[in-house]
Amino acid sequence: MSSREPGPVTPFQTAVRTLLGELDPEPGREGLLDTPRRVEKAFRFYCDGYHKDPKKVIGDALFEAETDEMVLVKDIEIYSLCEHHLAPFFGKAHVAYIPSGKIVGLSKLARVVDVFARRLQVQERLTMQVAHAIQDVLQPRGVGVVIEAQHLCMMMRGVEKQNSRTVTSCLLGLFRKDERTRTEFLQLVRGG
């Protein structure tokens, strides 16, 4: 018996309640009573990137700088949701750019990744959106983004797919046009 006053039930919670009824033979049991509210709270968090503007995230932390050397932030943890199965995919993003007069606070690159990861996604689009957002706001000479991820929709359902990783990349500007830049970037990403 729960003494908690049930709050106003949202359409989201009603939908989760329906889902539980479809999945569990005993959807009214104690352990599931508060599940619709918890699931809504969790999913609102997983998807809060829709409410964030990458221009604001980056734009607040731009600095003038003369350097034209590659800036690379490796191993940015990502957690996202596959839009086909609503199952998590997770892994690492590697984000690089070559400045053209402006640099951005390094932590902001990780935050831009989060803005797009916290949406219903496919990995290919996530990779492109991160690269293009940095290109648009920073106007650098080039941007490179590589994402390596494991998808629970594959890992939990498939046999012998437990260790598969999906790698996607998006290369813009010099990273696309200049072979040396591209090679340098990919070597840095692969190297330990």
Active-site residues, by number, are 82-85, 123, 151, 153
Rounded Cα distance between 135 and 3, Å, is: 53
DSSP helix/strand/coil, 50: helix
Stretch that binds Zn ion, among 42-50, 148-156, 173-181, 183-191 (CB under 5 A): 148-156
What is the C-alpha separation between 76 and 45, in angstroms, rounded?
Answer: 19
Stretch that binds Zn ion, among 21-29, 76-84, 123-131, 163-171 (CB under 5 A): 76-84
Binding region for Zn ion (CB under 5 A) out of 33-41, 78-86, 120-128, 164-172? 78-86
Taking the least distance from each CB to Zn ion, the nearer of 41 and 161 is: 161
Residue ranges of the alpha helices (H) in the chain? 11-23, 30-33, 35-46, 54-59, 106-117, 123-138, 152-155, 174-177, 179-190
Show the tokens assigned to 73: 């932030």
Answer yes or no whether residue 85 interacts with Zn ion by CB under 5 A.
yes
Question: Which of residues 135 and 168 has its CB atom nearest to Zn ion in the complex?
Answer: 168
CB 181, min distance to Zn ion, A: 33
- Considering only residues 19, 33, 153, 155, which one is a binding residue for Zn ion as defined by CB under 5 A? 153
Q: Is-contact 147 93, C-beta < 8 A? A: yes
Q: Write out the residues near Zn ion by the rule CB under 5 A.
A: 82, 84-85, 153
